[in-house]
Structure 1
């Protein structure tokens, strides 16, 4: 039930309190509710969903009950070996094993007891597909589409998707829908699919501000919210956590605030932190992500790190040793008509397609455009240390723009005027003119295009080996007629470009926990009754991005572990003290 803080009354008591209503927090709350606990879910913003609501909703869980339907050969042992090789000493092997053990159990438990339903993508390669133990299918789960009308008035609680990822004023589309929409004039099956989508959306817009057919991350959040409300979980939005109260046995209460209201809430089992990480924490962002402008972050606004501050005040600590403190994607940025900033992550739709390339200030390529978005973002920052590469420039010609679009510019090559007018899209009748408008070296750009055109003919990228792994080829164009599905010529004027920046899409560095998701202090002792999951927790991936959904997968698994441990703890008649000192009140700074 959706409540207000005032309605809780003074000194309300819950078995489990979850801080943060993104995918990890909502999953933890649902597991606790399934296990019979009285659960309070607290969200600091007006919406539930966090960055999960913006995402594809892909959840990386090896050896789940869905995997055999698309890949009978994969096992947890294969996945463990893959992670050992991909991540190595950047994270704890014990924590990775806990994730691999809990993930399939979490999927089965939630699906058997709620409206949350997944399916395995038929083809969705691990990003580091060149590493032994990787797979092309089976580990990437996606939520089934959800009818938002089931939520009634609560539908308005779901964070809407990024507007630029929708069509026709709020109609969500997933990977399969995009293909059908592009082929609707070519194939009858695609026409029929597209017609159903359009008819449904037309009906929706008669009574709702956006489409109620939810897919990807919005579908996952919709299913979680529906299941939580069915289970009687109390949900508070626009509510902040001001304090953790610590007694002899650990965290025993929290203080919450909403506008001028404050309430102390007692906790029997535990507090689970799932507030999204530090990405919008001003001081910690400057320390951990130097040079990354906050305006480049496409994440949800609630990731302020304030809940982590409370944990640090009672003895928690941040992890160390990750490849990067954040996960990254190249993004392009544009001011919307209402004055807000649109940040568009360039995941798969353009940069790796034939006839596309990325260059720096000298007009030269400096990376493999088909690498994962995480490695792309890291490469931009690394290159920028010696040659101006932030922004970088994603370049194509008129044919590339028509076929694949360019960031917020959709395929088709039409409706370019507003993008050109505000400078988001830059056009040049010649390559020299494009270079001049971008302020980059024209000789370097001309040479890079000439090299790319030669590579398109031979199928071999002599500079960065583009199109040499299964993952890279999956993000090329399967229908491309050239020898390499990722390489195509750039030659049909006019020419176009958008500016790219490294955007942090989630925190990799977080609070250190054990295999039960219990937050550990500086002496590696669990802080009783305090748990962390999602991006509040140190990533088991060690800042590496080995496959699709490697934030949501561990978020689900450790949310499951945290919830089950907290529920059991709350039912235990006596809990061994973790600290003999008097009650400590940790206030937010």
Structure 2
């Protein structure tokens, strides 16, 4: 049987061991783990593409103590990782779920690598985000999916959600951090030149036959590997552009002892009731695009600030709540954050660009509020940065002395920093600025006073802010906000910077530039409450038989904190494994 089917093509008495709602990283992981066991699996995706936000991400998978950590982080242990999470997450999430994640993480990774095309490698240096906290490590926990040749997908390649265009170069060529470093160094290094020529030549060849590059990296590579692996399993079916309309439980109503019996699916005017033998796994991406939830939990944060993929409307969770499920409580934040800048594309859509690592923490960059004053450590994690923006806004609205409106804020730099690092959607090199200036995405001024006028702030305040920053950069120490003092912060600085601090550099010569940033919600931390087998719990804390939630449909085990890179993808994969295993047990015991 072909992997891709349509709803009308399914038999009227169709039944599956596991039905997965959502074809993002977590959903595909659950489906693949079940397929490895031999289960008959149905994956239901409401959009036209697979991959969800995972396909747009770096694809980093945070799982401690896998075989990849050996030789890279020999000092690490599950006890150390548990100690780190206990200190960062604390009481914001159930510790039992963290223990389950740590206990089964290495097993889940090994299972993929032994029985599928999903393969990883460790980053040489990728510190935990709270690298000053006891139990953190500098490397070994962050796994990177190996690049993948998209041509292996054949006709399925078109199903893969394309990357954010602004994260590609040369009309659709994907690049990761290794590629970017080689591209920036190809004029100074023969190895970098060889690497750059190789990937550009491959891309040129691709464009003769494909709408975009087929050399896939980061999240696109991870999703492609999952999809390719599922395509090799004859008992897996994928439905696209299909929604779940109802969850059917035993006895037809919620109550003690109830279990999932079937789901009603709908596609292009056709509806079909599908029997569920083992389990129903909700992996629809969370509730960030549910306007009611946003109004309640994210006041003042418009939906068009969200850089997540479409489809995360919370519809699947709403159906689960109707049969007795409940949302988790106690998260430090209802969602995860990153500073984002926005720009209208030629086709009328809006690009929402997350400022993860390429600019804000680099020398020659600083962030100011609408009064022209610094108020945060630009080198903290993107999640903490987003929270700090909102905290400053709250202080301003409360009338606290020295605070000013921070939604939006501005990342400011000089010409040398722009050329060296780029700024948001503006590439390094310093060329091609005219379109960005013309549409207002990039503001500029010959002097700081000119730039302040462009930004609507007092020139003397901005000049004083930069002067103070420059003195700190010369000394290599930021006494105001402690920029560049942890291993994580230094890692996202500029390792080649000749100054005393890889995160600090003076703004010395115009023209000066600025890009507007706002806090963008990159994924929900609030979801359905689950147990250590990914089973959804009811109001009494009892599992609803055969109902599972993974990825951002489940309450985050990180409790709205952000301990490291890939802390949504890693747990999504591991709890996808646990959900698939439990559902398969139900099938065999039936």
What is the TM-score when the length of structure 1 is the normalising length? 0.97
Selected match of 1:220 from 207, 222, 238: 222
2-structure distance, mates of 1:133, 1:214: 33
Aligned length: 573
- Which position in structure 1 is the counterpart of 2:319? 310
Selected match of 1:531 from 537, 548, 551: 548
1-structure distance, mates of 2:550, 2:521: 19
Q: Which runs of 5+ in 2 are unaligned?
A: 252-257, 397-403
Q: CA deviation at 1:69?
A: 3.0
- Which position in structure 2 is the counterpart of 1:241? 244
Q: CA deviation at 1:307?
A: 0.2
Structure 1 residue 549 corresponds to structure 2 residue 566: yes
- SS where residue 66 of structure 1 aligns? helix
1-structure distance, mates of 2:467, 2:204: 47
- Which position in structure 2 is the counterpart of 1:250? 259
2-structure distance, mates of 1:37, 1:96: 27
1-structure distance, mates of 2:225, 2:447: 50
1-structure distance, mates of 2:82, 2:165: 38
Selected match of 2:349 from 328, 340, 345: 340
2-structure distance, mates of 1:314, 1:59: 32
Structure 1 residue 461 corresponds to structure 2 residue 463: no
What is the TM-score when the length of structure 2 is the normalising length? 0.97
- Which position in structure 2 is the counterpart of 1:300? 309
1-structure distance, mates of 2:372, 2:83: 40
1-structure distance, mates of 2:224, 2:119: 11
Structure 1 residue 488 corresponds to structure 2 residue 497: no
Deviating beyond 2 angstroms after TM superposition, the runs of 4 or more aligned structure 1 residues are none
Q: CA deviation at 1:11?
A: 2.9
- Which position in structure 1 is the counterpart of 2:275? 266
- Which position in structure 1 is the counterpart of 2:96? 94
1-structure distance, mates of 2:514, 2:490: 23
- SS where residue 358 of structure 1 aligns? strand
Selected match of 1:103 from 81, 102, 105: 105
- Which position in structure 1 is the counterpart of 2:428? 411
1-structure distance, mates of 2:265, 2:7: 8
Q: CA deviation at 1:143?
A: 0.4
Q: CA deviation at 1:186?
A: 1.0
- SS where residue 275 of structure 2 aligns? strand
Structure 1 residue 520 corresponds to structure 2 residue 523: no
- Which position in structure 1 is the counterpart of 2:557? 540
2-structure distance, mates of 1:529, 1:481: 58
- Which position in structure 2 is the counterpart of 1:168? 170
Render the CA deviation track for 1:14-57: whole Å, top value 9, x for unaligned. 00000000000000000000001000000010000000000000
1-structure distance, mates of 2:107, 2:180: 32
Tell me if structure 2 keeps the 8 A contact 1:49–1:159.
yes
Render the CA deviation track for 1:235-261: whole Å, top value 9, x for unaligned. 111100000000055111000001211
Q: CA deviation at 1:571?
A: 1.5
- Which position in structure 2 is the counterpart of 1:329? 338
Tell me if structure 2 keeps the 8 A contact 1:9–1:263.
no
- Which position in structure 2 is the counterpart of 1:38? 40
Q: CA deviation at 1:76?
A: 0.7
Q: CA deviation at 1:441?
A: 2.3
- SS where residue 5 of structure 2 aligns? coil
Tell me if structure 2 keeps the 8 A contact 1:361–1:441.
no
Structure 1 residue 49 corresponds to structure 2 residue 58: no
Q: CA deviation at 1:522?
A: 0.3
1-structure distance, mates of 2:112, 2:503: 39
Tell me if structure 2 keeps the 8 A contact 1:11–1:263.
no
Selected match of 2:452 from 429, 432, 435: 435
Equivalences for residues 64-143 of structure 1 within 5 A = 64-143=66-145
- SS where residue 548 of structure 2 aligns? strand
Tell me if structure 2 keeps the 8 A contact 1:327–1:545.
yes
Q: CA deviation at 1:549?
A: 0.5
Q: CA deviation at 1:326?
A: 0.3
Structure 1 residue 275 corresponds to structure 2 residue 292: no
2-structure distance, mates of 1:444, 1:572: 71
**Superposition RMSD in Å:** 0.7
Structure 1 residue 351 corresponds to structure 2 residue 360: yes
Equivalences for residues 465-480 of structure 1 within 5 A = 465-480=482-497
Tell me if structure 2 keeps the 8 A contact 1:393–1:498.
yes
